[in-house]
Structure 1
Amino acid sequence: MTVQVVIGSGDQELVTALSAQFAELTGIEVIGVETTSAEVLGVVNAEQDFDVVLVDDEIGPLSAHELVREIGMRRPHGAAVLLSAKVDEDLLTRALEAGAKGVLARQPSLEELRARVVAAAEWSRGMRRRLGTAMADDFPDGRRGRMVAVCGAKGGTGATTVAVQLALAVAAHKSVCLVDMDLQTGDIPSYLDLVHRRSIADLVGVATEITGTVLGDALFIHESGPHVLLAPAEGERAEDVTALAARQILGALRARYEVVIVDCGAFMTEGSMTAVEYADRVIMTVTPDLPALRAAKRMAQLWARLKARKEEEIYVLLTRLGRRSEIQPDFAARILNLPLTKTTIPSSFRALEKAINNGTLARVEDDGYRRAIAALGIEVGVLPVDTGGEVRAGRRAKVDT
C-alpha cells in the first residue's frame, strides 16, 4: 500500500526539493502541500486519509512543536516528522516530547527520507488498526470525545468533588471516563468508595499501543456509569506519567468515550499540565476568599508562561458560594481578570459531607447542588440542554475490546 505524505512548509524551495526526492521513491506519494499550520490542521481535521505529515521547523503561525502536539491530539494515529536545519539531541528530545515520530534534516539523503517516512507510516497504520474499530464504532463522523480538565486554584477548592459530580451527571446521557490526574494525592477512590488495583501508571509502558482490552484492565466501571482511571496508589509513581505518555493515554480515551473529565488537582505535574494544555475546556475551581483568588491568578499566569493555556481560555468556577459570602462573582471577576463561568456551585457542606463519608456522591441530597452541576455540564458542552437540572444515575458504557 502506498504511503501517503503531507508536507507542511511555506518554504517553496524545500517543498520542491522534497517533492523531487519523493518522486524517486516507489511506494510513497505526496498527496498535499500545506504552507501554514492552520492549513495542516485543516487537513488533520478533515476525513482525508494520510499516513505522515512532514512539519517544517519554520512553519507558522503555530510553532512546529505546537503543531506536532495538535496533530497528535486531533488525530491520535497521525504520525508527524519534524524537519529542521539543525538536528541535535536537544531538538530530538523536545520533538519526541511533543509527540513527533522522528526528526529529519531539511536536506536529508534519499535513504534517510525513505527510512524515516516508512517507519512513521508503519507506526501510524499500527495505531489505526488498534484504535480504528473503536473510533469508527463510537464516532462514525470522525469526531472525538470532548475533554474537560478540572483544576483547583489551591487545595480545598472542590476540584475533585466537581469533577466526580460532573462525571456522574454526564454518565446519564453519554459514555464518560473520569481520569484522576492528581497523580500524587488523587483521592477519587474515597469519593466513590471504590477499590481497584490498576492505575494510569500501568498504561505508561503500553501508551503507544493501547487497546480496548488493555484499557478494560486498567479502568474501574462504577455502578453509576462512569469508567474511572485512577491515579497510582504510590505517589512517587507520578513521575512515571510523562507528558508524552499522558498525551497518548488521553488521546486513546478520547477515541473511545464521548466525554473525558480529568481531575487535575491543585499540584501541577507533567501529566496534569498535559491535560490542561489539550483539554477542550479548562475549569479552575475557586472558593470566594482572597487566598484562593490570588492562587488562581498565580496558576493562570504560570500556565501562560509555560504556554500551556492562555489566560482568556481558562474558566473560573466559584464554589461554596452563598448569599452571605463577602466575595460575590462580580467582585471576583474584577480581582481575577479571568473569564468566570455563568454557573456557580452553592455551599452544600452538610449534604456533601454525608455523601462523601458514605461514598455515595451519586446521591447528594441537595437539589440546588445537583441543579448547579447540571447547569455547569450544559455550559461546558458535555450535557444536553434538556437535562432538566437533574443528576441521575448513569448507564454503563462499553469499552471496545
Structure 2
Amino acid sequence: MSDIKILLGGDDQELVATFRAVMVELTGFELVSIGKTSNEVLGMVATEQDVDVVLIDENIGPVPAHDLVRDIAMQRPNCAAVLLCTTVDESALTRALEAGARGVLSRQPSLEELQSRLSTAAEWSRGMSKWIGGGHVDAVGGRRGRIVALAGAKGGTGTTTLAVQLALAAAQQPGRSVCLVDMDLQAGDVPSYLDLVHRRSIADLIDVAGEITGTMLADALFMHGDGPHVLLAPSDPERSEDVTALATRQILGALRSRYDIVLVDCGTFMTEGSVTAIELADRVAITVMPDLPCLRAAKRMVRLWSRLDVRKSEDVVAVLTRQSRKNEIQPDFAARILGLALTRTTVPPAFRALEKAINNASLSRVEDDGFRRAVRQLAGELGVLDSAAVDPGGGKRAMTGAP
C-alpha cells in the first residue's frame, strides 16, 4: 500500500513544527502540504487529488474550521477531515462530526494516538474513493464540474453579454450540462438578456444551502430553451446582503457537483457572494475595454482581490472587449498597463447585431460572424468548450503574458 498522504492546515508555527517532527517518526505517512489559511487549504484539496486526510487546526481562518470542514466535504466527499482541538471532549467531537469531520485530535497528540486516528481516517477515505470510482454515488459525489467566473472592470464592458454567450455556446456541445449563475446581486440583468421571467432566485436557496437537494435546485433554476439552466440574482437588490460567503460556497458546490460547466456573472460591484465566487472559481476572467480609465479600474480591482487574499493576479486573465484595429490602445499595450495575462481572443464590437439580438430575445443567433467566432474561441480558452468543438479559424494571436 502507498504512503498515506496528509495535508495540514494551520498558521500556528509551533503546531506546524510539532506535527512536522512527529510525522517524520511515522512509517507509511507523508506530510505533502501545509496550508496557512482556510483558503489555501481548500485550494490544495482541489488540486492535490491524492490527499487522504486533512488535519485542520481549530484556530484556522479566515473561514472558521467547522465551515472549512463542510466545504471540504462538499468539494471532495472522499477526503477525510480531522480537527485539531485544544480540548478534546464530547462537545468538540459532536460539533466536528456534525460539520462532517472524521474525528478530532489533540493539538499535541501522542505518536500512538496520531497513528491510530490517521490510519482510521485514511482507511475511510480510500474506501470512499473506491466506492465513488465504482459509480456507487449519485451526481453530487461523482462529478466535479468547472466553475468559470467573469467580472467587469466597470459597467459596460460586456461581462453579462459574454457570460450569457459563453453559457449558450457551452450548452450547444452535446452531452454538456451548463448552469449560468447571475451573481451580480444588486444589478443582475441576465433576465433581460434572455427574456425570461422566473419567480425563484439564489435567495430561495440561502436557508437550505447546507443541505441542497436536486429538487430544491430544480425549483430555483430556470430551464432555458437553448440549453443552459439559469440561477438568477434576487429580484430585490437589498436581499444581496443575505447571500453570504458560506451560502455561496455551499450553493456553488452543489452546482459544481451537478453540472459540467458553471458560469458565474459576478458583475462589477463586489459583494460577499461575488467575491466568494471569484475565490472558488477554477478560472477567473475580468472584462476590460481598450481605454485607460477601464484598464486602471481593472488593475485596482485585481490588486484588491490580491490584498484580500481572494485571488492572486497571476490567476486572473483579462478579456479585451470592443477591440478593433482602429483603437489607439492595442492588446500588447493593454497587457503592459494591466500587468495581467490577456486571452489570445479579443472580442470585437458588434453593437448593431447585439442590439437586435437582445431586443428580439435571440442572443443565441447574433448576426455577426466575427463576434460569434470570438465567443467560441474564448470559450475554448477558458475551458468552457472542448478544443475540438472550437472553430479553429480566425484571428488568433500569441498569448500575452499567459499563465
TM-score (norm 2): 0.75
In the aligned structure 2, how far is the partner of 1:346 from the partner of 1:35?
Answer: 49
In the aligned structure 1, how far is the partner of 2:374 from the partner of 2:225?
Answer: 23
| Structure 1 residue 382, shift from structure 2 partner | 1.7
Count of aligned residue pairs for this structure pair: 338
| Structure 1 residue 356, shift from structure 2 partner | 1.1
Q: Is the 8 A contact 1:155 1:266 kept in 2?
A: yes
2:159 paired with 1:133: no
Aligned pairs for 1:91-102 within 5 A: 94-95=63-64, 99-100=68-69
Per-residue CA deviations over 1:32-65 (Å, capped at 9, x if unaligned) read: 965353xxxxxxxxxxxxxxxxxxxxxx3x3132
How has the CA–CA distance of structure 1 residues 11 and 154 changed in structure 2, closer, same or farther, with 3 Å as cutoff?
A: closer
| Structure 1 residue 69, shift from structure 2 partner | 3.4
In the aligned structure 2, how far is the partner of 1:388 from the partner of 1:279?
Answer: 22
Q: Is the 8 A contact 1:312 1:339 kept in 2?
A: yes
Q: Is the 8 A contact 2:6 2:53 kept in 1?
A: no
Q: Is the 8 A contact 1:203 1:249 kept in 2?
A: yes
Q: Secondary structure at the match of 2:323?
A: coil
2:57 paired with 1:83: yes
What is the one-letter code of the residue matched to 1:119?
Answer: E
Per-residue CA deviations over 1:193-218 (Å, capped at 9, x if unaligned) read: 00000001111111110111000000
Q: Is the 8 A contact 2:83 2:96 kept in 1?
A: no
In the aligned structure 1, how far is the partner of 2:221 from the partner of 2:341?
Answer: 34
Determine the structure 1 residue equivalent to 2:367: 365
Per-residue CA deviations over 1:239-281 (Å, capped at 9, x if unaligned) read: 0000111011111101000000000001100111011111111
Q: Secondary structure at the match of 1:228?
A: strand
What is the one-letter code of the residue matched to 2:38?
Answer: H
In the aligned structure 1, how far is the partner of 2:157 from the partner of 2:66?
Answer: 31
| Structure 1 residue 15, shift from structure 2 partner | 8.8
| Structure 1 residue 108, shift from structure 2 partner | 2.2
How has the CA–CA distance of structure 1 residues 33 and 195 changed in structure 2, closer, same or farther, with 3 Å as cutoff?
A: farther
| Structure 1 residue 158, shift from structure 2 partner | 0.2
Determine the structure 1 residue equivalent to 2:147: 147
Determine the structure 2 residue equivalent to 1:120: 99
How has the CA–CA distance of structure 1 residues 120 and 339 changed in structure 2, closer, same or farther, with 3 Å as cutoff?
A: same
In the aligned structure 2, how far is the partner of 1:212 from the partner of 1:287?
Answer: 39
* Unmatched tracts of structure 1, length 5 or more: 19-29, 38-59, 391-401
Determine the structure 1 residue equivalent to 2:400: none
Q: Is the 8 A contact 2:165 2:364 kept in 1?
A: yes
Q: Secondary structure at the match of 2:258?
A: coil
Determine the structure 2 residue equivalent to 1:217: 219
How has the CA–CA distance of structure 1 residues 374 and 7 changed in structure 2, closer, same or farther, with 3 Å as cutoff?
A: closer
Per-residue CA deviations over 1:296-337 (Å, capped at 9, x if unaligned) read: 111111111111111111111010111211111011112111
In the aligned structure 2, how far is the partner of 1:329 from the partner of 1:295?
Answer: 16
**Which residue of the other structure, out of 38, 46, 66, is the alignment partner of 1:65?**
38
Per-residue CA deviations over 1:112-148 (Å, capped at 9, x if unaligned) read: 55434433348999xx99x9411466x4xxxx11111
Q: Secondary structure at the match of 2:266?
A: strand
Per-residue CA deviations over 1:344-378 (Å, capped at 9, x if unaligned) read: 00010000011111221111011111000000011
How has the CA–CA distance of structure 1 residues 328 and 157 changed in structure 2, closer, same or farther, with 3 Å as cutoff?
A: same
Q: Is the 8 A contact 2:39 2:63 kept in 1?
A: no
Q: Secondary structure at the match of 2:389?
A: coil
Determine the structure 2 residue equivalent to 1:378: 380
How has the CA–CA distance of structure 1 residues 216 and 296 changed in structure 2, closer, same or farther, with 3 Å as cutoff?
A: same
In the aligned structure 2, how far is the partner of 1:272 from the partner of 1:79?
Answer: 30
What is the one-letter code of the residue matched to 2:320?
Answer: L
In the aligned structure 1, how far is the partner of 2:269 from the partner of 2:181?
Answer: 15
TM-score (norm 1): 0.75
**Which residue of the other structure, out of 330, 333, 341, is the alignment partner of 1:331?**
333
Q: Secondary structure at the match of 1:296?
A: helix
| Structure 1 residue 98, shift from structure 2 partner | 5.5
What is the one-letter code of the residue matched to 2:169?
Answer: A
Query: What do you get for the CA RMSD once the two structures are aligned?
Result: 3.4
